[in-house]
Structure 1
Amino acid sequence: MPQSEQFTAPVEPGLGTDRTDRTSVDDVLARMRALDAALPPGDGIAVFNGVYLAVTQEVDRRIDTGRFPDARAATTLDVRFAKRYLDAVDPGPADRRPPACWRPLLQFRRHPGVRPLQFALAGINAHIGHDLALAVVDACRSLGCEPAELEDEFDRVGELLGSLEERVREELMPGPDLLQIADPLTHLLGSWSLERARDATWTAARALWALRRLPDVAEEFTERLDTAVGFAGRMMLTPLPALVL
């Protein structure tokens, strides 16, 4: 997908209405469940999709129970965010390339030397480091607001993602009896922090919003962001020695 299309994706008419938003939430959950059913369990996209489906369902539950002060803003951000991921990994036109941040996971998704924890965190890296910044801009355009007005929703979604990262590490990290031989995995993934990624994403979203009237500069900024996040993801997916199995 051209970078200009990533940044200037059109806003669907009526997304801000409650009924359309509700349908959109149901649509993204249906697409995630379809992926979950279609992909083999060991596929790298399946690993990430499974954990992301769980957090999206939790966001949806919290919106429905009034845990977000502005349900409309939270829903819009959640839907825009999820669609960035789904559009990157779902099959599309043959000439459409996914963003650079998702290419390492798509390339290595069936590599036998890459562990499930690496797949999950590489997906989180791509989605938080790149997609979330663009989703904030998408949501601001749809809602007609400034990024500062979405900061509470951004922070609450970020808290859920933080708990997701903890759960992913607990469920997919090798047990204590494997700590010594798993040291390369521990070292590789210990260098990445979701909290730092979230902070950088918020800064990127604000910068992109400020650059919205300078499309050439915004396009270049988006391309550099995409490339940098993709590079980090490629490092996270470094195949490890067979002994780590």
Structure 2
Amino acid sequence: MIARTIDEVLTALEEIIADCTRNNNRAGYFAMVYYCTTLRVKKDILLNNFEDGPRMEQFDVLFANYYLQAWHQWQKNQPPAAAWKIAFETATQTPAILMQHLLLGMNAHINLDLGAAAVETMRGDRLQHLQRDFNSINAILGAMIDKVQENIGKISPLMGLLDLHARNHDELLVQFSINLARDGAWRFAQELNSKTAADYPVFLAARDNCIAQLGKNLANPRGLLLKYTLKAIRATENQPPAKIINLLKVL
């Protein structure tokens, strides 16, 4: 479905969460965090916490539709964006820890979708007028991820072992940063906004391929010690995905 309002986005996310819960699909981890993020965005719109509330709702809806479209394409065995394909494949086929699933969703949605949604929102207007609210939506998503990390011991008791690899600057799984992703997404939006109609889809496809490669690195880190660490963390994440999805809502 294509959402037209933030309430329709929330309804669509509820349906995805319900489907993932029924099927013990780990794709529901990101969907639940994204649902909580969207609830927060809606609340802040109602509280006039953005520069332009109606524009922010439009931005949020356009942003969400990239994810919703990718999800429904995947469900219909149609090819979604390559970055989303990695996230969905990992959720159903590859053993990965909770944080990997969340980062794969953020990798596709921030690094690919966010910039495209910004350009679409501001078509015919100056892109820089959106920058403050662009940063705000990232801050909300980042706050939600921080909240999960602060309370993640309830779900993943050994997650703290990842800190042992903090100096491994070559591994995206350890070094992934919401702020860096946001800054990269804004630069991408600026570049995309400068493209002609003919160049636009070519540039977007190239970006998708690049972000998909980052997703592969997130899903399959190279370091042997990190692989052993992930295996140990995964062994303690032994609750059914449906229960973890529900716990993420509580968090």
**TM-score, structure 1 length as denominator?**
0.80
Q: Does 1:155 align with 2:135?
A: yes
TM-superposed CA distance for 1:219, in Å, is 2.2
Alignment of 1:27-176 (within 5 A): 27-40=8-21, 42-91=24-73, 96-111=78-93, 113-141=95-123, 144-172=124-152, 174-175=156-157
Cα 1:62/1:235, change in 2 over 3 Å: same
Q: Does 1:202 align with 2:191?
A: no
TM-superposed CA distance for 1:93, in Å, is 8.6
Q: Which residue of 1 aligns with 2:232?
A: 243
1:194-218, Cα deviation, whole Å (9 max, x unpaired): 111110110111111111xx23332
TM-superposed CA distance for 1:185, in Å, is 9.9
Q: Does the CA contact (< 8 Å) of 2:114 and 2:185 recur in 1?
A: yes
Aligned equivalents of 2:151, 2:91: Cα separation in 1: 19
Between 1:165-174 and 1:83-92, the stretch displaced more is: 165-174
Q: In structure 2, the residue corresponding to 1:53 is in which secondary structure?
A: helix
Cα 1:230/1:120, change in 2 over 3 Å: same
Aligned equivalents of 2:33, 2:166: Cα separation in 1: 19
Gaps of 5+ in 1: 1-11, 13-20
TM-superposed CA distance for 1:92, in Å, is 6.5
Q: Does the CA contact (< 8 Å) of 2:165 and 2:174 recur in 1?
A: no
Q: In structure 1, the residue corresponding to 2:176 is in which secondary structure?
A: coil
Amino acid at match of 1:54: C
Aligned equivalents of 1:223, 1:121: Cα separation in 2: 21
Q: Does the CA contact (< 8 Å) of 1:117 and 1:172 recur in 2?
A: no
Amino acid at match of 2:19: A
Cα 1:243/1:162, change in 2 over 3 Å: closer
Q: In structure 2, the residue corresponding to 1:230 is in which secondary structure?
A: helix
Between 1:215-224 and 1:30-39, the stretch displaced more is: 215-224
TM-superposed CA distance for 1:128, in Å, is 0.2
Q: Does the CA contact (< 8 Å) of 1:32 and 1:53 recur in 2?
A: yes
Aligned equivalents of 2:43, 2:18: Cα separation in 1: 22
Q: Does the CA contact (< 8 Å) of 1:44 and 1:105 recur in 2?
A: no
Aligned equivalents of 2:36, 2:120: Cα separation in 1: 23
1:25-65, Cα deviation, whole Å (9 max, x unpaired): 11111000111112138523100000000000000010011
**TM-score, structure 2 length as denominator?**
0.78
Q: In structure 1, the residue corresponding to 2:119 is in which secondary structure?
A: helix
Cα 1:183/1:89, change in 2 over 3 Å: farther
Q: Does the CA contact (< 8 Å) of 2:166 and 2:175 recur in 1?
A: no
Aligned equivalents of 1:166, 1:208: Cα separation in 2: 30
Gaps of 5+ in 2: 222-226, 236-251
For the aligned residues, what is the CA RMSD?
Answer: 2.7
Identity %: 24
Aligned equivalents of 2:33, 2:167: Cα separation in 1: 20
Q: Does the CA contact (< 8 Å) of 1:165 and 1:194 recur in 2?
A: no
